Amino acid sequence: MSSTAPTIHVIDDDASFRTGISRLLKASGYQVAVYESAHEFLKNSTRDGPGCILLDVRMQGLSGPELQAHLARTGNELPIVFLTGHADILTTVQAVKAGAEDFLTKPVSKRILLPSIERALARRDELQKKNAVLDNLRALTGSLTPREREVFALVVRGKRNKQIAYELGTSERTIKAHRHAVMEKLQVRSVAEAAAIAERLGLLSESGNSSR
Amino acid sequence: MGRLLHGVAAVLLWTVAMLDGALASHKRVLLLESFGRDFAPFNRFESDFREELSLQFEGTVEYFEVPLATARLWQGTGESAFSKYLQSLFAEHPADLIVAIGGPAARFLEQHRQQLFASTPALLTAVDQKRVDGTNLSANDAVVANTIDLGAAIDNILKTLPETDNIAVVIGDSPNERFWVDEARRVFQRFANKVRLTWLNDLPFDEIRQRVATLPPHSAIFFGLFSVDAAGIAHEGFGAIREIHAAANAPLFSWVDAYLGMGIVGGPLLPTREIARQAASTAIRILDGEKPENIQSPAIGFAPPVYDGRELQRWNIKEDKLPLGSQIRFRPITVWQQYWWQLLLIWAVVLVQGALITVLLLERRRRHLAESESRHRLIEVAHLNRTATAGAMSASVAHELNQPLGAILNNTETAELLLGADNVDISQIREILEDIRRDDQRATEIIKGFRALLKRQAGVETKELDLNDSVNDVIRIVEPEAKARDIIVTREGEQRRLLVRANSVHVQQVILNLVLNAMEAMSTGTSANRQICIRTELVAKGNIKLSVMDNGPGIPSDQLKRVFDLFHSTKSQGVGLGLSIARAILNLYGGRIWAENNPAGGAAFFFTLPLLMAHAT
């Protein structure tokens, strides 16, 4: 299978519905993985590629919203489209508040289902891109030595070499060398650029708290 | 001493006086009977005469009865010998009075009067005037005669029974009776153009009896004297007339009132008692010393008509046909006259009882109506209950129904997509169509189950049904709801047919209410493995027991009995109808319902229904 084609994870306890929807999705060009329960999904799915989850609300064992909560706790990034036989307002509101991409009722036409899936996939894509940048930045910061990281944290807060040397209890000359290595490793030419990286990675507030 | 002698003398004198008086009033009377002492109707006359004599006469009378046996068969021969016998019999102690009773005796006395106690007074009585010659009678003789009007007797028959055209004449064959036959033939001549006369006098009694039994319609029988029949056999007492009456197929008439009550219809009759009284008073006057020739008694004729009520009724003779002033004896007493107060009582009891029965029937009918009314109410309520159930279950049914509908839609759209492609994958489209058909059937089944819940029962008719079928129906109905609530419904127990007689919708409703109740009970708990088990089994006394057990929180023990009460609910949203409806329905079919808590946890509801034995196995 092509790794670029997004995978739609269908979780529904009704076999004939699973068959029907997976046929439609496959015919529409998606990769489909079906699960008859939330447990099976948690056990057997690979969730890192592009895709989304089509989730039933009422199921034997773990229900749809319960799975949603579980995934949220464990850092799931797949958007969830709920698909239910009978939608009541309370369930709908709770699911959307908890971050559901959409809430659809069966029977669902492809005119509604496919755009909804597309939106979910787009969002997944966007998220993934964002994550890719951050991952890259994390990799750069990860290459810093502990001493360089300390220097980096103080540099992005606008401290002068003299202050840094004083704080770390070393010479200004040594700090200069560390600072040069940091700029080199992070592939930035200015302190402003380095500060932007720290900002995106959320290091500024973190370091600030720890420094107090 | 002197005084004592005086007293004795007085007593002796008194005794002598008494004896003298007694002797003076002691009379000897010779009764000369015509045939014998017990020949009717003279027997009746003789006893009446004695009675009257003893009533009217102050002294005592000593009777000597001498039957004139010769009169039975012959006349004349041997009579003088008999006369001599009598003379010698009473030679020493002559009687004070001779009384000749009946025609033959009178005639004998007349003929032998000169030889027979000429000095003794005689009284001829119970004899028809025509039989008294009178020429041989002396101044010492008196007569109390009667007159038999045979014509009047026949007139009476024709008056009371105007359709009579045949009269059978029953008279005996002794010399005296032959006289009367001749007399009757003479008198009856004037009726010859009105009626036919059948003379039975020359027949032996048995034949007479047969003849009177087979008389043609509109016949009557005239019974005269009957002392000796044509075969020479004497008939004592009232035997002859009784037998004739018993055999006769026609009404019986006669001329003497002695026969009244023996079977004759009645009419103008010779008054036996009157003749006896007259004879007795004449006898007393003679005994008292009056000269017989001075005593004149007119002949006694028929008394005013007297009838026997029983015979009138038997021959259907209306009382208004009888002559004016007629007397009716032996009037049959009607049941009402005899038992009027008993009848009144019975009537009253029957009336009261009838009223009571009517009241009870009305009461029963009212109860019946009320029962049928309440039955219809129950059906209404049960239907409302089902409708409410259906409403509550509609969400889960919709959910369940949308599964196949969703699959159908998706499959259809897929097929459209596939058909739009360059290379149409026919085998996949076939597969899709098969799935669509299957899902469609599934949707239909779900709707059927739901509609079963909403179906309105038209009547209250009961039929044989298998309880297991009802259980399966209920499981099908609650399946969506069970699925929605994550409850597994299982089935246990007897798999054979369990026939009961009930309305199928009612039974289904009971089971449904119990299952829904169990589901509701379990929704409050958090038990992960929610289960409801429905079990059917045969129990003692030909009953079927159905149990619905859950593993929910159970019922607080103080409420186990009250859960079936109307509007008693343990649920926050329940109205408390389901279980009371279940109980009402079971009562209707002779069943019972109760609740318990399972030892292992959860509640158990049970009910029993009578098993139809004929198809038990």
A163 part of a folded domain: yes
pLDDT given at position B20: 47
Q: Say if A86 is an interface residue toward chain B (CB within 8 Å).
A: yes
Q: Residue B254 has what DSSP assignment?
A: -
Task: Report the CATH architecture of B160-268+302-320.
Answer: 3-Layer(aba) Sandwich (3.40)
A166 part of a folded domain: yes
A162 part of a folded domain: yes
Last residue of a domain, one of A66, A99, A130: A130
**Do B26-146 and B160-268+302-320 agree at the fold level?**
yes
Across B193-197, B355-359, B596-600, the highest mean pLDDT is recorded for B355-359
Tally helices (H) and strands (E) across chain B.
16, 19
Calculate the average pLDDT of chain B.
Answer: 86
Interchain proximity B408–A85, CB inside 8 Å: no
DSSP string, B550-587: E-SS---GGGTTGGGSTT--SSSS--S-HHHHHHHHHH
Interchain proximity B484–A28, CB inside 8 Å: no
pLDDT given at position B606: 93
Domain borders along chain B are 26-146, 160-268+302-320, 333-460, 461-617
State how far the Cα of B218 lies from the Cα of B515, in Å rounded to an integer. 94
DSSP string, A77-139: -S-EEEEESS--HHHHHHHHHTT-SEEEESS--HHHHHHHHHHHHHHHHHHHHHHHHHHHHHH
Gyration radius of chain B's alpha carbons? 57
Residues of B in contact with A27 (CB under 8 A): 414, 417-418
A159 part of a folded domain: yes
Asked if A113 and A42 sit in the same domain, the reply is yes
Asked if A116 and A151 sit in the same domain, the reply is no
Please choose, from the candidates A82, A88, A108, the residue with its C-alpha nearest in 3D space to the C-alpha of residue B407: A108
pLDDT in tens, A156-174: 888 888 888 888 888 888 8
A15-27 and B340-420 are packed helices; what angle lies between their axes, rounded to 10 degrees? 20
State how far the Cα of A195 lies from the Cα of B233, in Å rounded to an integer. 175
**Cis-peptide into A146, omega within 30 deg:** no
Chain A residue at shortest CA distance from B437: A16
Query: How many C-beta atoms lie closer than 10 Å to residue B579's C-beta?
Result: 23
Give the confidence band of A207 by pLDDT, cuts at 50, 70, 90.
very low
State how far the Cα of B520 lies from the Cα of B569, in Å rounded to an integer. 11
Structure tokens at B379: 């059906």
Give residues with Cβ within 8 angstroms of B577, minimum separation 6: B381, B385, B388, B566, B567
Please choose, from the candidates A189, A154, A156, the residue with its C-alpha nearest in 3D space to the C-alpha of residue A172: A154
Sheet with B266-267, strands from edge to edge, namely B266-267, B306-308, B327-329
Count of domains observed in chain A: 2
Percent of chain B with pLDDT over 90: 38
Asked if A76 and A181 sit in the same domain, the reply is no
Q: Is the pLDDT of residue B617 over 50?
A: no
A138 part of a folded domain: no
Asked if A118 and A19 sit in the same domain, the reply is yes
Last residue of a domain, one of A98, A130, A162: A130
Asked if A72 and A35 sit in the same domain, the reply is yes
Q: Is the pLDDT of residue B272 over 90?
A: yes
Asked if A87 and A16 sit in the same domain, the reply is yes
A105 part of a folded domain: yes
For residues B138-144, average pLDDT: 89
Domain of residue A198, residue span: 143-211
Please choose, from the candidates B543, B565, B564, B513, the residue with its C-alpha nearest in 3D space to the C-alpha of residue B616: B543
For residues B210-229, average pLDDT: 92
Last residue of a domain, one of A130, A164, A195: A130
Q: Which helix (H) or strand (E) holds B103?
A: helix B103-111
Interchain proximity A17–B406, CB inside 8 Å: yes
Gyration radius of chain A's alpha carbons? 24
Q: Say if A20 is an interface residue toward chain B (CB within 8 Å).
A: yes
Residues of B in contact with A24 (CB under 8 A): 410-411, 413-414, 417
Q: Domain with A153 in it: what CATH number?
A: 1.10.10.10
Asked if A107 and A202 sit in the same domain, the reply is no
pLDDT given at position B616: 44
Evaluate whether B389 touches B579 at the Cβ level (below 8 Å). Answer: no
Sheet with B166-170, strands from edge to edge, namely B196-199, B166-170, B219-223, B252-253
* CATH class of the region B26-146: alpha beta
A137 part of a folded domain: no
Asked if A89 and A157 sit in the same domain, the reply is no
Structure tokens at B217: 């319609």
pLDDT in tens, B438-458: 999 999 988 887 877 776 655
Q: Which helix (H) or strand (E) holds B500?
A: strand B499-502
A135 part of a folded domain: no
Which residue out of A11, A18, A24 would a mutagenesis test of the B interface target, given it has the greatest number of B Cβ atoms within 10 Å? A24
Evaluate whether B116 touches B86 at the Cβ level (below 8 Å). Answer: yes
What are residue B112's phi and psi, to 5 degrees? -110, 25
- Chain pair A-B, CB pairs under 8 angstroms: 83
Evaluate whether B612 touches B602 at the Cβ level (below 8 Å). Answer: no
pTM: 0.48
Asked if A57 and A96 sit in the same domain, the reply is yes
pLDDT in tens, B165-176: 999 999 998 888
Task: Report the CATH architecture of B461-617.
Answer: 2-Layer Sandwich (3.30)
Q: Residue B364 has what DSSP assignment?
A: H
Q: Calculate how close chain B gets to A3, using CA atoms only, in Å.
A: 24
Structure tokens at A202: 């959320």
State how far the Cα of B230 lies from the Cα of B223, in Å rounded to an integer. 15
Query: How many C-beta atoms lie closer than 10 Å to residue B30's C-beta?
Result: 23
Q: Say if A145 is an interface residue toward chain B (CB within 8 Å).
A: no
Query: How many C-beta atoms lie closer than 10 Å to residue B101's C-beta?
Result: 29
For residues B346-372, average pLDDT: 93
Please choose, from the candidates A79, A51, A82, A47, the residue with its C-alpha nearest in 3D space to the C-alpha of residue A64: A82
B426-454 and B467-484 are packed helices; what angle lies between their axes, rounded to 10 degrees? 110
What are residue B492's phi and psi, to 5 degrees? -140, 165
Q: Domain with A20 in it: what CATH number?
A: 3.40.50.2300
Structure tokens at B463: 């039929």
Asked if A20 and A110 sit in the same domain, the reply is yes
Cross-strand bridge partners of residue A11: A35, A55
Evaluate whether B329 touches B309 at the Cβ level (below 8 Å). Answer: yes
> Residue B232 in 3-state DSSP?
coil
State how far the Cα of A42 lies from the Cα of A73, in Å rounded to an integer. 13
Asked if A124 and A204 sit in the same domain, the reply is no
Chain B residue at shortest CA distance from A26: B414
Structure tokens at A165: 């040397």
Chain A residue at shortest CA distance from B394: A86
Give the confidence band of B86 by pLDDT, cuts at 50, 70, 90.
confident
Asked if A11 and A81 sit in the same domain, the reply is yes
